[in-house]
Each structure stands twice: as C-alpha cells, then as structure tokens.
Chain A
Amino acid sequence: MLDFPRWKVTLLWLVVAVGILLSIPSLIAGTPYAGSWPRWMPQYKINLGLDLAGGSHLLLEADSADALKQRLQSMEDAVQTELRRDPRIDVGDVSTAGGRISFMVRNPTQVDAAVERLRTLTKPVALTGNRDWDVQVVDSTRIVLTPSPSGTAQALKDAMSVARDVVRRRIDPGGTKEITVVTEGDNRVLVEVPGVENPDELKKLIGQTARLEFKLVDLSANPADAQQGRAPPGSQVLPMADGRGFIVVKRRVMVSGDQLTDAKQSFDQNGQPDIDITFNTAGARRFGRVTQENVNKPFAIILDDKVLSAPNINEPILGGRAQISGSFTVQSAHDLAVSLSSGKLPVKLNVIEERSIGPDLGKDSIHKGALASAVGVAAVMIFMLVTYGRFGVYANIALIVNAFLILGVMAMFNATLTLPGIAGFILTIGAAVDANVLINERIREEIRRGRRLLDAVETGYREAMRAIFDANVTHVISAAIMAYFGSGPVRGFAVVLLIGVVTSVFTAVYFTRMLVALWIRRARPRALHI
C-alpha cells in the first residue's frame, strides 16, 4: 500500500499541477496581474454569480390565457386566408367563443371540401399521433375547430422557446453581453443580466408583446354601438393607445409585424419621434396591394390590441417602407423599434420573481468572503499542525492543494461561484481535514496497540477508508438533492460541496498517502511522532 511506483507519483503531481494552473486565471481576474497571464495557458474562469457580481434576476411566467388567445387568433387568420383562396368557399361569421373557431358554410355541398382544406392547416403533434387541432362538422353545415390538449401543450412549448430567443434579442440586440436567458419548467423564462442594477429597463423591453398589426378601419360601424363595445360582424372595437376613445376595425389583418425585416427609431417631418419600418418581400407586396385597393380610406396601426394611430391612405404605399407615428418619446420609440425588430413575443410574460443586487454589495461580499476563507484556512492549519506535527503538515499541504483543485475544477466546468458557495468552500476546507483526522487518529491508535510503524500507517489508512467513504456519500446525497431543488445561489453552494467532496477525498487520502510513503521511503524512520 505504501508502495508508490514512479508513474503513480508523476500522475498525482500532474493532477495537482493541472488543478493549480486551471485555478490561476480565476484568482488573478480583476487584479493588475490579469493581463500578464500567458495566452497559451488555460483560460478557463469561474463565473461570479449575480449575488457577487451585481445584476438583475427576473423570473418570467407565460400568461397561459394570453397564449391560448394568440394561438386562436392566428388560427382564425389562417382559416380565413385558406377559405378565401381559389376556389373560394363562402362562410358565415366566424366565432371564436369558448376557445373554439366555428362558422357556417353557406353552400352545403362545399362542407367536405372545406374540411379537407382546413385539415391541411393542422399539424401532427410529435410522438402523440394526434393533430394539434380537431376539425369537426356539427349540424351538417357548421365547422368547428377545437385545439387538442397535446397540440396546446406543444404550442406552449414552442412559444416558450421562441419567447426565450425574443427576450434574448431584446435585452442584448448585439449578442455580446454575458446574459443568461433559459426556459425553466413548462412556462417560465429565467433572465439573469450581470451589471444591470435597475431591472426596470429590462422589464420595459420584455413587457411589450409587440404584436404589430395593420387593419382597415370599419367606417360602417355605428359610433354609439362602438362606445358600448359592440361591433358589426367581422369587425372589432379596439381602444386607442393614448386612452382617448375607441375605434372599430375589421378583424382581418392586412399585414402584421411578422412581415417586418427592420424597425428603427427616426423623426417625422415635424421633428416628432417615429419608427421607420421595412417589410419583407411578401409583406411589401401585400401592403402595396391593400393600400392600392383602399386609397382614401383610413387604416389602423395596432400594437398589442391598442390602436397607435389611424392615418388615411393618401396613395398606395409600394416601396415596402412605412412610418409609424404615435405619441412617442425618443426613448419609447427606440424601445418599440427594438421590440419590433426582435419579433413579437408569442405569449405575454409576467414577472413573478425579481432580484437585483448592487455591485458594491457583491464586492464587499467577495472581500469579506476571501478574508474569512483565508483566516479560516490558517486557523485550521495551525490547529492541524499542533495536533499532528509532521502528519499535520501533510494534511495542510493537502488542504492547500484541495483549495486550488476546487477552484480549478470549478473553472474547468465554468461553474458559478455564489455567496453561499463561498460558505460551501469554507465548510469543505473545515470538513476536508476530517479524513486526515480519521487516518491520523487511527494510526495513533494502532501504534498504541503495539503495531510496527509501517504496519500502523498501512492499517490506519485502510481502516479509516470505510468511514471516510460512508461519510462522504451522505454529503453527496444532501448536496445532490440541494443541487436539484435549489435555485441560483443555493445551487452554487451545492456545486461547491459536490466538487469539494471529490477533490478532498483525492487530496486527503491519496495525495497525503503518497507524501507519507515518500517520506518513509526517504527517511526510514524508526518511530512515529504522531
């Protein structure tokens, strides 16, 4: 057991050297020496959690009612478009009451054809064998489209991944910042932005769904009815964005924000902030055609179901470019432009948890944490030295190597160090010597029992191993559960504990055993002072 061949010694030192090398970039980060670390050396670095680096944490939850509504609306648009295509199928008013799309087919002979064509709009849901919408015929002429549960679930999943990408583009249009945007669970998005102390800016960017639509104004509507919220069939009543009254528009969407390629904040001829938008080819063609057909009629520019403005179409707009005016400030026009060019959110997101940490608190925590770590390690080392002498020195070398290894492994996995993580680090340091205490006490015991030196050391390491193993498994169980259930900072704590368990067994058992073996081989001691 104390027989250490040369290759084993080399391997152990190699692991230690790699660990130390990996930890250095994280240790010198933020100090004047950071620049002098050679480029060809490993550059892995430990991330600082938001509680140390400062920043904002937002947990967003999808508004599932809004998701259903949006899905229903886009299906309705698709149905209308499909039925108008040649050969046209005439239908009565389309109702979306009760979360279903239903309408009468005027010509009973066309019912089968309509069902056939609508079925092509539905998609199979992966792995279920169902389609995302059920198309049924009721009372021989009424067609009803009902969303299937698996289709709804799949749609939410798709919506969440689109929402995640949209949120990322809005917060970080350049794609250069170190932000975290991930989906969590079925219907949540977690956003973490280091360095942003005030999350209000973020929330403004995320808060808008930014669903832009152009619809024709329904001039046939009776204004009195509109005030009551009643609209003629095929039209709807929408509020003005500035809160001044209502306007009746046709339900049919002329062009929507999906067909934009770009949006920029600009100024109109009066010097008021507005937004320049550019349509893609299909959007430009459609916008051109609709404006051509409706010259001298007003159309409404609608954002998130509120009418921004309803200008008159003076002439056909053919170039695929348009300006949106409203009562904007430069900032709100800019925010809206960012939101529009990043695409609409497929579902409205509500903030359900929000945490922000100033940069000074983090710096103070790092400073105090580092100091506490240093003092704690020093105190434990002095205690080990006076208790075990030479064997205490070996345990202390293992302790220092362990500290470097924990940092090195964390850097290699790009793990995040949080404030509780610092506590985990100190706890691991304190507990890591337990393995050496177990071994050394056992050696003392075996010597008292009269074993010879080599035999005592060998038995000490072997007999202590069982308890060390079992104790560490209990730590792994609790840390793993913590990593699974914990969020952010707490998970950071668990990660440090998990890494610490592995590295401390390595240093406290294998590494010290090598040091002891080399010493015995070199000095050939007669008696053990332990």
Chain B
Amino acid sequence: MKLLKLVPENTNLDFMRWRNVALVLSLIATVASISYTVYRGLNLGVDFVGGQLIRVSFAQPIDVEQLRSKVDSLHLGDASISEFGGPKTFQIRLPKPAGNASANAVATRVKQEVEKDYPGARIESVDTVSGKVSEELADNSALAIALAMIGIAIYIWFRFEWQFGVGALLTLAHDIAMTLGFFAFTRLQVDLNVVAAFLTIVGYSLNDTVVIYDRIREDLRKYRKMAILQLINLSLNETLARTVVTSLTVLIALGVLMLIGPEVIFGLAIAIFLGVLIGTYSSIYISAPVLVWLGVKPDSFLKSDEEKAAEAEPA
C-alpha cells in the first residue's frame, strides 16, 4: 500500500523570510479584531447578561413575524426571536424582568401563549438567569481564561526559557483575540459553552507551539553554530508534516461535530475549530519569530545548564 504523504519529505521552506510581513499582518488583524470587538460588542447570551431564553420546537414550520408579534403583544420587554438549528425550532430571548420574583411568571406566560396558538408546539428548554448570577459567571469566565493563559505561559517558561514563555503568551493572546473578533463579527451567541471553548483553545492552540518549541530546543543543542533564523526554519520544516497531520485530524473530528452534532454545542465546536486553525498559523508565525526578537541563541540553554550546575555545587 502506498502511504499518503501530505507533506513531501525533506521540505526546505523559508518560513522566516516572511516573518516581518506576517508580523505586521498579524498585528493589524489582532488590533482590528480587538477594536471591532470593543466597538460592536459580543452577542452575549443570558448566561452573562441575565434574562430568559426559551427554546421551542413547533410541529410545522411557522411564520416568524407572526410569532414575534404574538410575543410582543405580551409586553414583556424587548424580545428577540431567532431560528435555532432548523425552520421548526426557535429561541425566544427575553430581557430580565424588572421585578425580582416575576422572572418565572414571564416564562410561564410565553409558554401558555405558544402552547395555545400552536398545537403540537413543545417547550424544549427554559433558562432563567438573574443579574447577580450572570455577573458572577461573566467575571469568573474572564478570570478563568486569564488564569489559564498565565498558568500555561509560566509552565512553558519553567520547562523552556523565559523567551519561550513570552512567545506562548503572545501566541495565546493573538489566538483569543482573533476568535473573539470572529464571534463579534458573526454575532454568534457567546454562552458558557463558548467560554469553555476559549479555555480549550488556550490549551489546544498551544499544542503546535509546544511541539515546535521542543524541536527548536533540541536543534539549538544539536547545531550550536547555526544561525538562529536558519535553525528555526529547520525546526519548522522538520515538524511540518506532524503539524499538518495533527491539525487535520483535530479539524476533521471537530468539523464532523460542527456539521452533524447537536445544535446546542455548535458555538463550542466552531470556536475550537477556529482556534485550532488560528493556532496552527500562529505557532509558525508568532511563536517562532518571537524567539528571534527576544534573542534566543544556541547558548540560551547551555548557559542555563551551566548555571544550574553552578548552583548545585556548594559554594
């Protein structure tokens, strides 16, 4: 059997030649992404702003405008209705009711209205989140993402050198910023599942970076005389086949989940899919060049080995 080789043997692509162009592009994209997110805001779900989310599935396809006017006639505040996974399933989103105790009463009225006017309609799920809980969830999510980024950067610093830790942190910041921009642009709803996806990206988009860093460290020890740009190119080429194959397997699995998996976790799946895609790019064009700018040299590791040996010896 002839085996598939997506990446030919002994490639010798000059990745680092484009590093400044790539940097400028990445920088522009990151800044644009962050400013767009700040300007447009994210489409935050009830998990983070409070309110109610009611998912209804109908027996037949229905007229959205009719449903909208019916819900509006209940005078429950600004309701938004959107299709959810098919022409027969909709989600109705309602703002936080003004009073405290009436939150459930609102859901009950919508339920009654829907069940009365649309025979065979089924309430699939109801989420009610108070303002207090949603604030906590938002704070905790932001804190968790920040902690995960810092924790991983510290680990990389600990296992490699400080330059690698900085590289990992910048890579993560880039990946998260780009994914946020995507969510701001597509208006996909950001709920707790999407935050889980962001945390996953923090772990998985760094996968390629870790593998490439490991190879750079190995080559730094092996080829002491090689210029750093040439050495990084060598490491990138050596790991290229693995980068491509692994990213593809993960993307295949996630692509299947996105296309035929449950609708409720579409946001989660697409976020991780995107994160892996961006992570593959940034492991080559952000993680690696950062090492050049931060002055990693062949003796970066050797020196630290000597220092450790010196520390170990009693004075």
Instruction: Report which A residues bind B (CB closer than 8 A).
Output: 51, 59, 61, 199-200, 203, 350-358, 360-361, 364-365, 368-369, 371-372, 375-377, 379-380, 383-384, 386-389, 419-420, 422-423, 426-427, 429-431, 433-434, 437-438, 441, 444-445, 448, 463, 466-467, 470-471, 473-475, 477-479, 481-482, 484-487, 489-490, 493-494, 497, 529-530
Contacts and interface: CB of A to CB of B under 8 A. Distances in A.
30 contacts: A51-B264, A199-B104, A200-B104, A350-B101, A353-B128, A353-B133, A361-B55, A361-B124, A364-B262, A383-B248, A419-B262, A426-B254, A427-B254, A467-B214, A467-B215, A474-B210, A478-B199, A479-B203, A481-B151, A482-B199, A485-B141, A485-B144, A486-B196, A487-B192, A489-B192, A490-B193, A490-B196, A493-B196, A494-B196, A529-B1
Interface in B105-125: 108, 122-125
B23 interface: no
Given A358-B123, A389-B3, A475 B199 contact: no
A376 B253 contact: yes
Contacts of B137: 487
A60 to B, nearest CB: 11
Given A383-B248, A427-B272, A437-B242, A360 B104 contact: no
Given A352-B132, A430-B249, 9 more contacts: A354-B126, A357-B124, A358-B122, A387-B245, A426-B257, A434-B249, A482-B199, A486-B192, A487-B192
A283 to B, nearest CB: 33
A423 B211 contact: no
Contacts of A358: 122-125
Given A429-B253, A431-B250, A490-B196, A477 B124 contact: no
Interface of B: 1, 3-6, 9-10, 55, 57, 100-101, 103-104, 108, 122-130, 132-133, 137, 140-141, 143-144, 147-148, 151-152, 155-156, 159, 192-193, 195-196, 199-200, 202-204, 206-207, 210-211, 214-215, 218, 238-239, 241-242, 245-246, 248-254, 256-257, 260-262, 264-265, 268-269, 272
A530 B103 CA distance: 62
Contacts of A351: 103-104, 128, 130
Given A351-B104, A356-B126, A478 B252 contact: no
B3 A474 contact: no
Contacts of A350: 100-101
**Chain B at the A interface: SS class:** helix
Contacts of A466: 214
A398 B276 CA distance: 23
Contacts of A353: 128-130, 133
In the complex, which of the residues B144, B211, B215 has the most CB atoms of chain A within 10 Å of its own CB atom?
B211
Nearest to A197: B123
A430 B254 contact: yes
A369 B262 contact: yes
A365 B203 contact: no
Contact of A372 (B132, B155, B207, B261): B261
A477 B253 contact: no
Contacts of B260: 368, 371-372, 375
Contacts of B155: 473-474, 477
A354 B104 contact: yes
B210 A434 contact: no
A379 B193 CA distance: 25
Contacts of A377: 253
A478 B176 CA distance: 14
A427 to B, nearest CB: 6
Nearest to B252: A379
A448 B237 CA distance: 14
Contacts of B203: 474-475, 477-479, 497
Contacts of B10: 448
A379 B254 CA distance: 11
Contacts of A477: 148, 151-152, 155, 203
A474 B172 CA distance: 12
B53 to A, nearest CB: 9
Contacts of B261: 368-369, 372, 422-423, 426
Given A360-B124, A387-B3, A419-B265, A489 B193 contact: yes
A354 B97 CA distance: 14
Contacts of A471: 206-207, 210-211
A380 B207 contact: no
Contacts of B159: 470, 473
A380 B253 CA distance: 7
Nearest to A448: B9
B260 to A, nearest CB: 5
B144 A437 contact: no
A59 B214 contact: no
Contacts of A494: 196, 199
B102 to A, nearest CB: 11
B3 A529 contact: yes
A256 to B, nearest CB: 27
A364 B9 CA distance: 45
A41 B11 CA distance: 54
A381 to B, nearest CB: 10
A386 to B, nearest CB: 4
A473 to B, nearest CB: 6
A209 to B, nearest CB: 15
B257 A376 contact: yes
A486 B147 CA distance: 13
B200 A434 contact: no
B256 A372 contact: yes
A396 to B, nearest CB: 11
A426 B253 contact: yes
Contacts of A438: 211, 242, 246
A380 B251 CA distance: 10
Given A360-B124, A427-B250, A467-B211, A482 B264 contact: no
Given A352-B133, A386-B3, A433 B202 contact: no
Contacts of B147: 481
A59 to B, nearest CB: 7
Contacts of B144: 481-482, 484-486
A361 B125 contact: yes
Contact of B218 (A361, A368, A463): A463
8 smallest CB-CB distances across A and B, nearest first, come from: A430-B253, A478-B203, A372-B261, A485-B144, A376-B256, A467-B214, A365-B262, A430-B250
A354 B192 contact: no
Contacts of A423: 257, 261, 265, 268-269, 272
A420 B47 CA distance: 15
Contact of A420 (B104, B122, B193, B241): B193
A357 B125 contact: yes
A386 B254 contact: no
Contact of B1 (A364, A383, A389, A434): A389
Nearest to A203: B104
In the complex, which of the residues B242, B249, B251 has the most CB atoms of chain A within 10 Å of its own CB atom?
B249
A485 B133 CA distance: 13
B249 A384 contact: yes
In the complex, which of the residues B152, B203, B241 has the most CB atoms of chain A within 10 Å of its own CB atom?
B203
A158 to B, nearest CB: 24
B163 to A, nearest CB: 16
A386 B1 CA distance: 8
Nearest to B168: A474
A488 to B, nearest CB: 8
B122 A470 contact: no
Contact of B246 (A59, A352, A434): A434
Nearest to A382: B252
